[in-house]
Amino acid sequence: MQIDLSGRVVLVTGAGRGIGRTIAEAFAGEGSTVVALDLDPGALAALEAESIADLALTCDITDPEQVRDAVATIEERYGRLDVLINNAGINAEGPLESFDPALWDTVFAVNVRGVLNTCQAAIPLMKKQGSGRIINAASFAAIIPSVDAAAYGASKAAVVQMTRVLASELGPWGITVNAYAPGMIPTAMNGFAALDEEAAATKLDQLSLRRWGLPEDVANLCLFLAGDLSSYITGALLDVSGGKFATQDPGAAWRAL
Ligand code: NAI
């Protein structure tokens, strides 16, 4: 059995850079028709120029009208949407006591409302087809949040619950809905790449596999969740974190070497 995703129409939000770009590349590599959404027109133009995206649309996922227009364009052009990957997300940090409420709303607008907007736009089309895959970017922060990251952790926990509810609501239409929880993948969103050796070692000590995650680690999981091999998996949160806190002190096994 092989993952065969050729000809599948796949929508990736936040495809302009980071993990989303790698997800788009992975699906293009499998022969899927990739539609890329992002805020950054320059990044989208590059995706089209490199033949990663068949269609690239500048779209703010917090705006339901822009999202509806994007899905209408997809329906008009391809007549279907097989896979929706809700990858776009933002982080904002600060202690909860003094956290700017407007910033709290912004985090939820992108990470939670954005997922609601894309799902509401895509579900009618998937129901018409009687098939579909929705794959949502949660985070390890939805399992164990970090200090100064309440807005992010709460928003990603909301994504997990939306995933579970949608999985049940859409089961009768043969649509699966899953979420994944990346651990630590150095991208422009975070400062992992800039940590000094000692700080990096402290972070890596949290991981059973003791290496930073790669965007490809997430993209590979998305390929699996989008394909026929995963057809009996729905409502799941899959941890793609290298075994983050699989035990209280994963680093102990490395120190014992
Ligand atoms: P990133 O910041 O490198 O890329 C995010 C992309 O989303 C950017 O291209 C940005 O323009 C786009 N975007 C942001 N707001 C948008 C909006 N309103 N409408 C459309 N596009 C928008 O982030 P990264 O690291 O690639 O993360 C991707 C996803 O994975 C996010 O949901 C993030 O929360 C999640 N994640 C990442 C982890 C990591 O270690 N990098 C860990 C856990 C979760």
* 57-67: average pLDDT: 98
List pLDDT tens digits, range 157-215. 999 999 999 999 999 999 999 999 999 999 999 999 999 999 999 999 999 999 999 99
- Of the chain, the percentage scoring pLDDT greater than 70 comes to 100
Element (H, E) at 117: helix 114-129
CA of 131 to the centre of ligand 1 (A): 26
pLDDT for 1: 61
pLDDT for 38: 98
Closest CA to 250 of 201, 202, 208: 208
- Of the chain, the percentage scoring pLDDT greater than 90 comes to 99
Question: What single letter denotes the amino acid at residue 125?
Answer: L
Supply the residue whose CA is at minimum distance from atom 43 of ligand 1. Answer: 139
pLDDT of 2 over the 80 cut: no
Residue 3 pLDDT grade (very low, low, confident, very high; cuts 50, 70, 90): confident
Question: Where would I find the beta strands (DSSP E) of the chain?
Answer: 9-13, 33-38, 55-58, 83-86, 132-137, 175-182, 237-240
pLDDT of 39 over the 80 cut: yes
CA of 172 to the centre of ligand 1 (A): 31
* 97-110: average pLDDT: 98
Pocket of ligand 1 (CB under 6 A): 13-14, 16-20, 37-40, 59-62, 87-90, 110, 114, 137, 139, 182, 184-185, 187-190
Domain 9-256 belongs in CATH node 3.40.50.720:
yes
* 11-19: average pLDDT: 98
3-class state of residue 32 by DSSP: coil
Which entry of 78, 152, 180, 232 is annotated as an active-site residue? 152
Helix axes 41-49, 18-29, angle to 10 degrees: 20
Domain edges within the chain: 9-256
Determine the residue of 47, 57, 187, 244 to mutate for testing ligand 1's pocket, defined as the one with the most ligand atoms within 8 A of the Cβ atom.
187
pLDDT for 162: 99
Determine the residue of 67, 189, 204 to mutate for testing ligand 1's pocket, defined as the one with the most ligand atoms within 8 A of the Cβ atom.
189
Read off the pTM: 0.98
Residue with tokens 């097989």: 82
* 46-62: average pLDDT: 98
* 44-70: average pLDDT: 98
Kindly report the average pLDDT of the chain as a whole number: 97
pLDDT of 86 over the 70 cut: yes
List pLDDT tens digits, range 125-159. 999 999 999 999 999 999 999 999 999 999 999 99
DSSP category for residue 173: G
